[in-house]
Amino acid sequence: RTWPERTALYLESATALFVDAARNALADAGLAASDIDTVVTISSTGIATPTLEARAFREMGFRSDLHRVPVFGLGCAGGVSGMAIAARLARARPGSNVLMVAIETCTLNFRDDRLSKADVIASVLFGDGAAAACLTTGGEATTAAPIVGEGEEHLWPDTLGIMGWDVDAAGFGVIFDRSIPSFVETHFRDAAAACLARAGLSPGDIARFVCHPGGTKVAEAIEQTMGFEPGRLDHEREVLRDYGNMSAPTVLFVLKRVMEAGQRGQMALAALGPGFTVSMLPILLPEADDR
């Protein structure tokens, strides 16, 4: 498809995904769209101006004084960084409600005009998806709701060629370097430890890392560098098998499965994205009696 055709499909499908994910999150939180003060929209697989939350505005029923924070370019790290941004905004205005929505339509960027190894791998690895979450401060939680900490990031210098997009007349072309698993195995642990240290934590404080499963080899590399037993990232592999790598939303699918499995304690969301960057967010899943 041409770039205009891809963009038209993105505007239609990504807006529909936004509405679906946002409504589900609002229902889970017991909120109405009119209760939302700020929307953080994360997406890197298409361009929309006006942005997606504006396109979904009437259908959602948002207030006219809604604060809008669209974020482009974070790629696979967008789910973690988006949650961190939403948490900062919620803390900045106690009592406000912030909706974070991550939408990616990876398959719209399928390229049959160039068949590099990266393009072939991207075609079989990436899928479409959306996830959303509501964050607030100052309210009384009625359940053992997750408590979101301060997000941290680490950007490695001179790594722009590892992951991202290049752009030509047909649209986005994937940059997906084969060195990612070995890079993760060599560098991830120190960066993760530094991020956690800035948040007042250490790897030993984390009951479970909730990771974005960039691919099977990346999951294996994280397990090896962090000293996890093989297969530890089980929910990550399940999500990857069921949905593919959906880029930004994927880690929130993993988090949902961790919560549904009844796992509790100090967690850390982690994802790698263009830059090349690791984004990390401490998140406490308390027992019901702890609230």
What does the block give as tokens for 157?
A: 């210098």
Q: What whole-number distance in Å separates Cα of residue 172 and Cα of residue 109? A: 6
pLDDT tens, the chain, 291 aa long: 888 999 999 999 999 999 999 999 999 999 999 999 999 999 999 999 999 999 999 999 999 999 999 999 999 999 999 999 999 999 999 999 999 999 999 999 887 787 778 778 878 889 999 999 999 987 555 556 899 999 999 999 999 988 888 888 888 878 777 888 899 989 999 999 999 999 999 999 999 999 999 888 999 999 999 999 998 999 999 999 999 999 999 999 999 999 999 899 999 999 999 999 999 999 999 876 544
CB 284 within 8 A of CB 265: yes
Nearest to 133, CA basis, from 261, 259, 1:
259
Q: What whole-number distance in Å separates Cα of residue 207 and Cα of residue 228? A: 12
137 DSSP assignment = S
**What is the maximum span of the chain, computed from C-alpha positions, in angstroms?**
57
DSSP character string of 61-91 = T--TT-EEEEE-S-GGGHHHHHHHHHHHHHH
Can you name the residues that pair with 260 across neighbouring β-strands? none
Peptide bond into 276 cis (omega under 30): yes
Q: Give the per-residue pLDDT at 123.
A: 82
Q: Catalytic site residue 195? A: no
